[in-house]
């Protein structure tokens, strides 16, 4: 039996709790096992990004707990949480993913440098990651010189750099054309299969949803459905 | 890597960074220029007072300083002068006989201080020969020649060869009057003194005062190296144990006050310039932080801790300052060096300034210590200015920052 990598228990996020409370996420229970490829879907404002942020330790739940690989995130101090993210979670955002003043190679290597990986080892890993996302020829290009799809692939390579257990992606294909989106999804699916990395991504893109093996639907901050499916 | 990111970040908006660098350059240059100009002005005033009026050291009979009566003299001044002249640390020595009295012309009368001087030795000290605008420096060879200031000449409507009468009290408390002819009219850098100081030959005044041949009221010493001031003052005290030996700081404490107030002035001017600079830097860096909120949020999300984000923003400001500081310093130093040689002619305003003892040519000057103060204050300002924008970045919550439009 696969081990539970994400355990969100009774998670609630309320904005403005003392005046007019707005429930972004309400009593959500989600268990995700290692190696799953999960799509978090729902209409705008359903709480997808909020739940994803809480699972990534970027936001703190008002109530409930988030346990990642046995570590209760709400119990970590701010610095320990940042360190935890650095070593255990990879992020891919919708936009503004990369550091604009660094080249593709430097962007991917940035996280490794924060982990104090020696230069030779780091360069080797960066090159292999860029090969995995088919961008070895863009090694010295800055984000401004790359297309949206290429930028997202660099972001995936960076998210993978620290060999995280989980990659959280918030609408990763939202700004991409069909071809770039399909390319990105194929890379993510391949990494999930070959390296057993758990992928959790919020989306309302049907192309992404079809690739997922499990689809969790949120409506008004609550889990409406949680179904397994065969990816197409 | 943070050093590299910070460096590249400042060139994301080249024109904005150049504006900050330029304001730092102008700020430092302006600070250096204002301070060097002021110091040049004060130094000129101090030098004028020390070299042309006071000398570095003066020796008096202690009672002369209190009573201002020529009967209180330094005896055996000739031998004292000889001993002082033989000291190679001393540039020049002169003795003076001094009386206060009244000058009367055909038009009016006024109070004056009458200096009986040795024309030869005083060329190195009071330097009246260089300030003479009419006549020849004790050129008539007669005993009753008098040199007066231009302002006094105007007041009494006196010309060369005009006759005046000096009236004063001699050492026997008798009133003495003597006629003199104007042999020269001088104009010094201190117009207010030009109205009250008159100069006659020492031997003649000594006779009129009924002093003994080797008696004088004042011995003035100019030294070669100011560093030696204390040791020569002490040496003079041993030579004339019963006399009052004072250096220029004791003789004119207001000059020392000028130096002290200039030091304070350094901090105030630098502070004001740097305060203006602070607002510029804070504004620019704050803008730079606010337009990068999403990026900073992303950096926090992927594992860059707040301490490093704070450091990165501080680094950006420090880089800008480090670019501006040396250029501003170099420009300031060049300005001071060039103008220090050529001088700045402020003759347009010199009439007013001259009455306070200032020259019409100002030679800007600034010692190394003041340069260091400006640089240090500039660096402190830059670091302080960066704290608020960097602190603002620390307030960001990564999840909110990433969503920021």
Minimal CA separation from B306 to chain A, in Å:
8
Q: Indicate yes or no: CB of A111 within 8 angstroms of CB of B302.
A: yes
B142 at A interface, C-beta within 8 A: no
Q: What pLDDT score does B351 carry? A: 61
Res B190 pLDDT > 80: no
Q: Is A65 helix (H, G, I), strand (E, B) or coil?
A: strand
Residues B19 and B110 in one domain: no
Q: What pLDDT score does A153 carry? A: 87
Res B197 pLDDT > 90: yes
Residues B225 and B276 in one domain: no
In a domain, residue B249? The reply is no
Chain B interface test: which of A49, A53, A103 (most B C-beta within 10 Å): A53
Q: Give the model confidence (pLDDT) of B275-318 as tens digits.
A: 888 888 888 888 888 888 888 888 988 888 888 999 999 899 88
Query: For residues A63 and A227, what is the distance between their CA atoms, to the nearest angstrom?
Result: 25
B213 at A interface, C-beta within 8 A: no
Residues B338 and B194 in one domain: no
Domain range enclosing B389: 2-49+255-403
Query: For residues B62 and B69, what is the distance between their CA atoms, to the nearest angstrom?
Result: 11
Q: Domain boundary at B214, B242, B270, which? A: B242
Q: What is the rounded average pLDDT of the residues B15-31? A: 88
Ordered by start, the domain boundaries in chain A are 4-97+163-228
**B295: nearest CA partner in chain A:** A96
DSSP H or E stretch at residue B116: strand B109-117
Q: Which region, left, alpha or beta, applies to residue A196 given φ > 0 means left and ψ of -120 to 50 means alpha?
A: left
Res B272 pLDDT > 80: yes
Query: For residues B358 and A192, what is the distance between their CA atoms, to the nearest angstrom?
Result: 85
B264's CB contacts (< 8 A; 6+ apart) are none
Q: What pLDDT score does B214 carry? A: 85
Residues B263 and B392 in one domain: yes
At B357, the pLDDT band (50, 70, 90 cuts) reads low
DSSP H or E stretch at residue A4: strand A4-15
Res B359 pLDDT > 80: no
Given a contact cutoff of 8 angstroms between Cβ atoms, the answer to whether B204 and B168 are in contact is: no
Given a contact cutoff of 8 angstroms between Cβ atoms, the answer to whether B362 and B44 are in contact is: yes
> Which residues of chain B from 300 to 359 reach within 8 Å of chain A, CB to CB?
300-307
Residues B132 and B211 in one domain: yes
Q: Which of A45, A41, A44, A6 is nearest to A25 (CA)?
A: A45
Chain B interface test: which of A91, A162, A168 (most B C-beta within 10 Å): A91
Quote the strand ranges of B187-255, DSSP E.
197-201, 218-223, 244-247
Instruction: Count up the domains in chain B and report the number.
Output: 2
Residues B34 and B111 in one domain: no
Res B350 pLDDT > 70: no
Four-point Cα dihedral A127, A130, A131, A132, nearest 10: 130
At B196, the pLDDT band (50, 70, 90 cuts) reads very high
In a domain, residue B20? The reply is yes
At B267, the pLDDT band (50, 70, 90 cuts) reads confident
Res B104 pLDDT > 90: yes
Q: Indicate yes or no: CB of B303 within 8 angstroms of CB of A114.
A: yes
Minimal CA separation from B326 to chain A, in Å:
26
At B358, the pLDDT band (50, 70, 90 cuts) reads low
Pairing of strands A37-41, A89-92: unpaired
Q: Indicate yes or no: CB of B399 within 8 angstroms of CB of A83.
A: no
Res A17 pLDDT > 90: no
Interface A-B: count of C-beta contacts within 8 A: 67
Quote the ipTM score: 0.88
Q: Give the model confidence (pLDDT) of B199-241 as tens digits.
A: 999 999 999 999 988 899 999 999 988 888 999 999 999 988 8
**B11: nearest CA partner in chain A:** A101
Q: Is A21 helix (H, G, I), strand (E, B) or coil?
A: coil
Q: What pLDDT score does B354 carry? A: 60
Chain B interface test: which of A101, A163, A171, A175 (most B C-beta within 10 Å): A101
CATH number of A4-97+163-228: 3.40.50.300
Q: Other C-beta atoms within 10 Å of A160: how many?
A: 24
Q: What pLDDT score does B400 carry? A: 79
Q: What is the rounded average pLDDT of the residues A39-57? A: 90
B165 at A interface, C-beta within 8 A: no
Residues B141 and B273 in one domain: no
More confident residue, B357 or B154: B154
Residues B219 and B321 in one domain: no
Residues B236 and B301 in one domain: no
Q: Which of A189, A206, A207 is nearest to A198 (CA)?
A: A189
List chain A residues with CB under 8 Å of B298.
91, 93, 96-97, 99
At A93, the pLDDT band (50, 70, 90 cuts) reads confident
Residues B174 and B287 in one domain: no
List chain B residues with CB under 8 Å of A174.
none
Q: What pLDDT score does A20 carry? A: 81
Under an 8 Å CB criterion, which residues of A touch B? 49-50, 53, 56, 58-59, 78-79, 82-83, 85-87, 91, 93, 95-97, 99-102, 106, 110-111, 113-114, 158-159, 162, 170
A225's CB contacts (< 8 A; 6+ apart) are A215, A216, A217
Q: Which of A64, A45, A60 is nearest to A220 (CA)?
A: A45
A52-90 burial, b if ≥16 CB within 10 A, otherwise e?
Answer: bbbbbbbbebbebebbbbeeebeebeeeebbbbbbebbb
Query: For residues B229 and B206, what is the distance between their CA atoms, to the nearest angstrom?
Result: 30
Minimal CA separation from B303 to chain A, in Å:
4
Percent of the residues in chain A that have a pLDDT greater than 90, as a whole number:
32
Query: For residues B138 and B136, what is the distance between their CA atoms, to the nearest angstrom?
Result: 6
- What's the DSSP call for residue A98? S
Residues B274 and B392 in one domain: yes
Q: What pLDDT score does B397 carry? A: 81
Q: Indicate yes or no: CB of A114 within 8 angstroms of CB of B403.
A: no
Residues B216 and B264 in one domain: no
Q: Domain boundary at B208, B242, B276, which? A: B242
Q: Which of B345, B381, B53 is nearest to B218 (CA)?
A: B53
In a domain, residue B248? The reply is no
- What's the DSSP call for residue B173? S
Res B405 pLDDT > 60: no
Helix axes B2-10, B306-342, angle to 10 degrees: 60
Query: For residues B192 and B215, what is the distance between their CA atoms, to the nearest angstrom?
Result: 29
């Amino acid at each position: 039996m696969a081990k539970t990598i994400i355990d969100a228990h009774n998670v609630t996020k309320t904005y403005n709790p003392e005046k007019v409370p707005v429930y972004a996420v309400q009593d959500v229970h989600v268990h995700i096992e290692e190696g799953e490829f999960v799509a978090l879907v729902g209409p705008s404002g359903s709480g997808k990004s909020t739940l994803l942020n809480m699972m990534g330790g970027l936001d703190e739940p008002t109530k409930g707990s988030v346990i990642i690989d046995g570590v209760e995130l709400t119990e970590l101090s701010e610095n320990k949480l940042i360190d935890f993210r650095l070593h255990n979670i990879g992020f891919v955002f919708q936009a503004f993913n990369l550091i604009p003043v660094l080249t593709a190679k430097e962007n991917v290597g940035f996280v490794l440098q924060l982990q104090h990986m020696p230069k030779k080892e780091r360069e080797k890993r960066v090159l292999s990651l860029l090969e995995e996302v088919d961008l070895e020829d863009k090694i010295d290009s800055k984000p401004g010189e790359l297309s949206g799809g290429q930028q997202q692939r660099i972001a995936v390579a960076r998210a993978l750099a620290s060999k995280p257990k989980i990659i959280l992606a918030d609408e990763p294909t939202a700004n991409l054309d069909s071809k770039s989106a399909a390319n990105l999804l194929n890379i993510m699916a391949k990494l999930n299969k070959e390296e057993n990395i758990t992928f959790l991504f919020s989306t309302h893109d049907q192309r992404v949803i079809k690739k997922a093996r499990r689809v969790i639907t949120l409506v008004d901050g609550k889990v409406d459905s949680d179904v397994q499916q065969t990816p197409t | 890597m943070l050093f590299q990111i910070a460096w590249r970040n400042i060139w994301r908006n080249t024109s904005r960074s150049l504006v900050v660098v330029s304001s730092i350059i102008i700020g430092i240059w302006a600070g250096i220029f204002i301070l060097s100009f002021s110091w040049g002005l004060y130094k000129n005033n101090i030098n004028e007072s020390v070299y042309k009026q006071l000398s570095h050291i003066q020796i008096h009979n202690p009672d002369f300083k209190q009573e201002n009566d020529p009967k209180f003299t330094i005896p055996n001044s000739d031998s004292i002068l000889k001993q002082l002249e033989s000291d190679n640390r001393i540039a020049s020595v002169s003795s003076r006989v001094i009386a206060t009295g009244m000058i009367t012309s055909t038009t009016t009368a006024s109070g004056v201080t009458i200096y009986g001087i040795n024309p030869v030795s005083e060329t190195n000290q009071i330097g009246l020969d260089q300030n003479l605008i009419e006549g020849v420096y004790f050129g008539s060879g007669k005993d009753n020649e008098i040199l007066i200031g231009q302002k006094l000449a105007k007041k009494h409507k006196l010309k060369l060869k005009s006759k005046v009468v000096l009236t004063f009290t001699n050492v026997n408390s008798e009133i003495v009057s003597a006629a003199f002819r104007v042999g020269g009219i001088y104009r010094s850098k201190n117009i207010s003194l030009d109205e009250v100081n008159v100069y006659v030959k020492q031997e003649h005044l000594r006779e009129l005062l009924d002093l003994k041949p080797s008696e004088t009221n004042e011995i003035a010493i100019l030294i070669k190296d100011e560093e030696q001031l204390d040791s020569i003052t002490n040496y003079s005290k041993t030579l004339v144990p019963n006399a009052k030996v004072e250096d220029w700081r004791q003789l004119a404490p207001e000059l020392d006050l000028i130096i002290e107030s200039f030091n304070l002035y350094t901090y105030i001017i630098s502070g004001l310039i740097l305060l203006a600079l602070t607002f510029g830097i804070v504004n620019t860096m704050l803008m730079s932080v606010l337009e990068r909120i999403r990026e900073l949020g992303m950096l926090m999300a992927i594992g860059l801790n707040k301490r490093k984000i704070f450091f990165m923003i501080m680094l950006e400001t420090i880089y800008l300052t480090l670019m501006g500081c040396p250029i501003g310093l170099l420009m300031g130093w060049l300005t001071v060096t060039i103008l220090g040689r050529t001088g700045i002619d402020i003759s347009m305003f010199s009439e007013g300034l001259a009455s306070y003892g200032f020259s019409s040519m100002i030679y800007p000057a600034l010692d190394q210590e003041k340069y260091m103060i400006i640089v240090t204050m500039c660096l402190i300002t830059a670091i302080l200015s960066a704290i608020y924008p960097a602190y603002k970045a620390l307030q960001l919550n990564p999840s909110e920052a990433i969503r920021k439009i």
